[in-house]
Chain A
Amino acid sequence: MPIELIILFSMLIVFAGGVFWLKLPSGVAMAAASFIGALVGGHGIPVRHLIEGTFGYLDAVLIISTAMIFMKVVEATGALGTISYGMIKSLYRSPSLLMILVAFFVMFPGMLTGLSSACILTTGALVAPALIGMGMPAVSVGAFIAVMAVLGMIAPPINIPVMIIGGGVDMPYVGFEKPLIFLTFPLAIVTALYYRFRFIKKIDVNEVLGKLPQSVYDKHGIKLFIPIFIVVGLMIGVRFAPDGIPDFGIPLIFMIGAVVGLKTGEKVDAVKVSRSAIRESLPVLGILVGVGMFVQVMTLTGVRGYLALSALQLPPELLYPGIALIMPAMGSAYAASSVIGVPILFVFLGRNEIVVTSALSLIAGLGDLMPPPSLLCVFAAQILGIKNHFTILRAAVIPIIIALLFSILTIVYAADIGSFLQ
């Protein structure tokens, strides 16, 4: 057995053992796996490399932290509650259109933060009671929110799995908007319509509105949405008018939005909201730091090169089923992106790499739904009071299969899709 495989297996065993037996947070288990990988590879304890690895995703750490603070501020001002209230009040007569808009609404925090869990904990939690009131079983509501959370994480402008894969092949995070929109928005619409026609027949608007937080629009008016306008405006403005609008960087844009949000709606306790935002994002921040160390040690020991070469030698008939089955089975979007996504991208060099990376990020993103961690199903079960989170995964099987097929077809026809989207 090649030494690279022995190193990789020892790292994976330590990671799995740390998570399942010692109940360590995933980030810590990854750090421990990196430590052992370096030892097995004969590099002793390479402090410089381990520390270097923690910096691998420092930009993503800052984006997630500030985006979560922004989302929590916007939620506390009453803006999110007001949007969901207004959406249902004005569109309850068109359930299909309403479900599509609810889907985009649930995706919204994930689009801005790059975090799937942010969708479930903020907008997902807001609309869940309303969806149950509209006639959907709680398990299906959980599945709908969990799938939308994955699509929100993958949709632009922020997509962390793409950043992880791109970081591994020195590809800048530029030009991904159109492929990511192409991959996520049609899937969101199909998924929304799937649940709408399966479960929603007639909406009792009073019952549904009674389960939502009340609108505070009459009290604060349009200024309630100023923080969202500022953040979206600056993000878009930098791309379309780079000479007129300076590029502050995404973390600073979120902080500007959060500070403005303190004065635009309901009273917000800035310290409490910031602490709650950072506390909720800690597991993901830990994973990012751990992934950075893991990738650094894989590079140091030659495991990454070995994986890339092995992926290049895979027979074509095994390649696509392999991608569709193995990437989600990693149980984490970030782990799948860093360990499998990077070498797999090398296999498709020469097609449109931006389209391929976008599709790989969606397949990796589905890993957040999968056991053993089933992170998103656990979160959705928690907010809906469902004891067995696997029932949520079961209810999401059809949209997951559609998403996998769509992603694989996108990889197969990446070159054509790339030309079409230009």
Chain B
Amino acid sequence: MLFYTYIIIAALVASIILTELFREKSWRNQLAMVIILIPLLLRIFQIK
């Protein structure tokens, strides 16, 4: 139960970062968002 609650929290954070990624104009900041998304997405999809 707790595991899936944390997956939901990670998904919430990742979805906000994804929204910001598409709104962001600077490629430098977009790059920073991409590296933050890597562990979050891999954990959400339980690849790692």
Contact = CB atoms under 8 A, between A and B. Distances in A.
Question: How large, as a class, is the contact surface on chain A?
Answer: 20 to 34
Contacts of B17: 278, 282
Most buried by B among A22, A28, A51, A252: A28
Nearest to A58: B39
Nearest to B34: A28
Given A61-B39, A251-B9, A289-B39, A28 B31 contact: yes
B33 to A, nearest CB: 7
B48 interface: yes
Interface string A30-50: 010000000000000000000
B13 A31 contact: no
Nearest to A287: B32
A31 B10 contact: no
Interface residues of B, number: 24
Which label, helix, strand, loop or mixed, suits the secondary structure of the B interface?
A: helix
A93 interface: no
Given A51-B38, A58-B39, A252 B16 contact: no
Contacts of B16: 274-275, 278
A24 interface: yes
Given A61-B36, A252-B2, 17 more contacts: A23-B28, A25-B32, A27-B32, A31-B35, A51-B42, A61-B13, A65-B13, A249-B6, A275-B20, A278-B13, A279-B20, A282-B29, A283-B32, A286-B33, A286-B35, A289-B36, A289-B39
Interface of A: 22-25, 27-28, 31, 51, 54-55, 58, 61-62, 65-66, 248-249, 251-252, 255, 274-275, 278-279, 282-283, 285-286, 289-290, 293
